[in-house]
Amino acid sequence: MNMMQRLSRVDAINWNRLQDDKDLEVWNRLTSNFWLPEKVPLSNDIQSWNTLTEKEKQLTIRVFTGLTLLDTIQSSVGAPVLMEDARTPHEEAVYTNIAFMESVHARSYSSIFSTLCTTRDVDDAFRWSEENPTLQAKSQLILERYRSDDPLMRKVASVFLESFLFYSGFYLPMYWSSHAKLTNTADLIRLIIRDEAVHGYYIGYKFQQAMAEASPERQQEVKDYAYELLLELYDNEVRYTESLYDEVGLSEDVKKFLHYNANKALMNLGFEPLFPSSVTDVDPTIMAALSPNADENHDFFSGSGSSYVIGKAVATEDDDWAF
Amino acid sequence: MLASCSPTPIAGTLVYFSTKSGNTHRFVEKLGLAAQRLPLNRDAPAVQVTQPFILITPTYGGGSAQGAVPKQVIHFLNDTHNRHLLRGVIAAGNTNFGEAYGLAGRIIAKKCQVPLLYRFELFGTDEDVANVRKGVEEFWKRLT
């Protein structure tokens, strides 16, 4: 729908008449996951923050400033652009939620800054973000697709932002958390990570629906463009990662995290993963910080772990189970 | 045409559920093992299995146990006959959901006292497919 059509007529949205029940499923998921930074006791990290070296503090502020930029792009450009391409009014409504939550994410980093950092250090980092070539390059690569007239590539760019580009940044709070540092900040970042997974999944799902209707030639073209864009973003991410993490000796592990998440971004689009498992073996302590016991069941089939993994006590929905 | 209210028998040793996004379906396709898909439509005739099976299910939500197991899977497991033939569960999910990664699998494992055999993300990597194919084969051997 173009802007003129949009302005000339809007129909009232009826959530009781769905064209695609995935819209309601995701709407419910996103709204039940709603949160605000105020619910996380960030001030409990002040002591921990003070144990970081000046270099580590600068790295952390820069990483969070970079993430703020991505959230800002997604909130003010990405989600609104996707709204224009929505297939159903409910999809459009889901994007309004995504746009707002990206604003919440961007706002959260400022909450972290105001709790832990000095104004001058934060101002310096924002200046750094405006001048850093690799950060600006990734922003440009995404914005170019958002400005293009190709709805499929707009979704591809959006999924890459949600499911790939954030992770060079997300690595650091997971690293601090695995060293028992900035653990409340890490809790907040985990809420963001959870949201981004739903966003990437949903936009990827809508992408796959649109792809299924395209001609085989067009499908191939989009697929080629998508891998091309991923590799372009990847090259830039590697440079960005090195410029930030070389100093603390973490670049190589961050790159594994990039590979792991690039694969998941491709999968959200329905494409096969690109990076083999030999380069996606992220440090297990990082994976544990992301998802505790992420590999606990891995051993059932290989026979090397504890024999039976019967679920831990979790509150189940007994009302729904008849036994 | 068969009467639509009679239970549908299943011959396979894998039973799975997949939403419209089709990630779990795609994983099962890559496995290349006999498998029966549970109907997406909740009004579809009830499915009844005839032999021991492993269940593959996605996880809904992204945090709470409430709603983590798809309703269609609960519906299927509420049938005592089906439940008694369940031998293990494999869950799809996303590590982005932290502790809730593959939560549906843990809930079913606990509720039905069967092992959680494996978890994979989205539609699984080639390595996941190889692990599950091998694991399932050996699992059935161990049980017989």
Q: Is the predicted ipTM greater than 0.95, yes or no?
A: no
Angle, helix B23-31 to helix B126-143, in steps of 10 degrees:
60
Question: pLDDT band at residue A299, thresholds of 50, 70 and 90?
Answer: low
Q: Cα–Cα distance between A175 and B61 in angstroms, integer? A: 26
Quick one: pLDDT at residue A319? 61
Binding-site positions of A for Fe cation read: 71, 102, 105, 162, 196, 199
Q: Which two tokens stand for residue B125?
A: 């990597």
Q: Does A149 touch chain B (CB under 8 A)?
A: no
Q: What percent of chain A has pLDDT over 70?
A: 89
Determine the pLDDT at residue A250: 97
Q: d(Cα B92, Cα B111) in Å, to the nearest integer?
A: 18
Show the low-confidence residues of chain B (pLDDT under 50): 1-12
Distance (Å) of CA A215 to CA A195, A218, A220, B3, B52 = 32, 5, 9, 39, 42
Collect all residues of chain A within an 8 Å Cβ-Cβ radius of residue B117: 297, 300-301
Q: Could you read off the pLDDT of A210-258 as tens digits, one per residue?
A: 999 999 999 999 999 999 999 999 999 999 999 999 999 999 999 999 9
Check: CB of residue A132 under 8 Å from CB of residue A67: no
The backbone region for B78, taken as left when phi is positive above 0, alpha when psi lies in -120 to 50, beta otherwise, is alpha
Structural domain includes residue B9: no
- Span B30-56, pLDDT tens digits: 999 999 999 998 888 889 999 999 999
User: Can you read off the two tokens belonging to residue B56?
Assistant: 């593959």
Mean pLDDT for the stretch of residues A149-167: 97
Other beta carbons less than 10 A from residue A260's beta carbon: 24
Question: DSSP class of residue B47?
Answer: B
Specify the range with the lowest mean pLDDT, choosing from A6-15, A123-132, A212-221, A314-323: A314-323
User: Which whole number is the average pLDDT over A292-313?
Assistant: 57
A31, with CB counted inside 10 A (0-12, 13-18, 19+), is exposed
Q: Report d(CA A23, CA A167) in Å as an integer.
A: 26
Determine contact: B41 vs chain A, CB below 8 A.
no
CA distance A24 to A37: 25
Q: How confident is the prediction for chain A on average, in pLDDT?
A: 92
* Interface membership of A212 toward B (CB under 8 Å): no
Q: Residue B88: helix, strand or coil by DSSP?
A: strand
Contact (Cβ atoms closer than 8 angstroms) between residue B91 and residue B106:
yes
Q: How many CB pairs under 8 A join A and B?
A: 135
* Distance between CA atoms of residues A293 and A171, nearest Å: 18
Q: Where are the domains of chain A?
A: 20-320
Any domain includes B37: yes
pLDDT at B8: 47
The answer to whether A9 faces chain B, any CB pair under 8 Å, is: no
Residue pLDDT, tens place only, A67-89:
999 999 999 999 999 999 999 99
How many Cα atoms are found within 13 Å in the side-chain-facing hemisphere of B81? 10
* Antiparallel, parallel or unpaired: β B36-37 and B14-16: parallel
Check residue B46 and give its pLDDT: 87
**Rounded distance, CA B15 to CA B25, Å?**
11
Residues A307-323: pLDDT tens digits?
445 545 555 555 667 76
Work out the angle at residue A73's Cα, subtended by the Cα atoms of residues A72 and A74, and round it to the nearest 5 degrees.
90
Type of residue numbered B128? D
Axis-axis angle for helices A216-245, A151-160 (nearest 10):
30
Q: Does residue A298 register a pLDDT over 90?
A: no
B97 in a structural domain: yes
Q: Which of A23, A282, A314 to mutate to test the interface with B (most CBs of B within 10 A)?
A: A314
Amino acid found at B71: K
Least confident of A7-16, A23-32, A159-168, A224-233: A7-16
More confident residue, A282 or A319: A282
Whether B128 is covered by a domain: the verdict is yes
Q: Which residue of A has its CA nearest to B21?
A: A205
The pLDDT assigned to B41 comes to: 87
Return the minimum-mean-pLDDT range out of A3-12, A175-184, A218-227: A3-12
Q: What is the CA radius of gyration of chain B?
A: 14
CA dihedral A173, A170, A194, B58 (to 10 degrees): -110
The catalytic residues of A are: 109
Whether A313 and chain B come into contact, CB under 8 Å, resolves to: yes
pLDDT of residue B62: 65
Burial A59-98 (b: 16+ CB within 10 A, else e): bbbbbbbbbbbbbbbbbebbbebbbebbeebbbbbbbebb
Give the mean pLDDT of A131-154.
Answer: 97
Distance CA A186, CA A192 (A): 10
Cβ within 8 Å of residue A120, ≥6 positions away: none
Confidence at A9, pLDDT banded by 50, 70, 90: confident
SS3 of B117, please?
Answer: strand
Mean pLDDT of A147-157: 96
Supply the pLDDT for residue A223.
98
B116 φ, ψ (degrees, to nearest 5): -85, 115
Residue B67: its pLDDT value, please? 81
Q: Which two tokens stand for residue B3?
A: 């009467």
Q: Quick check: A208 and B21 CB within 8 A?
A: yes
DSSP sequence for A227-246? HHHHHHHHHHHHHHHHHHHG
Q: Do A264 and B94 touch (CB under 8 A)?
A: yes
Asked if B33 and B136 count as a contact pair (C-beta separation under 8 A), the reply is yes
A104-107 long-range CB contacts below 8 Å, 24 or more apart? A104/A35, A104/A36, A104/A37, A105/A67, A105/A71, A105/A75, A105/A192, A105/A195, A106/A68, A106/A71, A106/A72, A106/A75, A107/A37
State the total domains in chain B.
1
CB contact (8 A) between residue A309 and residue B134: no
Given an 8 Å threshold on Cβ–Cβ distance, is A323 in contact with B127?
no
- Which residue range forms the structural domain that includes residue B90? 14-136
Rounded average pLDDT over A185-209:
97
Give the integer Cα–Cα distance in Å for B15 and A222.
Answer: 34
Here the CATH number for the domain that contains residue B50 is 3.40.50.360
Q: Does B8 touch chain A (CB under 8 A)?
A: no
Instruction: Determine, for residues A194 and B69 on separate chains, whether the beta-carbon distance falls below 8 Å.
Output: no
Nearest-CA neighbor of A300 among B87, B17, B33? B87
Q: Tell me which chain A residues have a C-beta less than 8 angstroms from the C-beta of B107.
A: 311, 314, 316
What pLDDT does residue A293 have? 67
Tokens in use for B13?
């040793």
Annotation: CATH topology of A20-320: Ribonucleotide Reductase, subunit A (1.10.620)
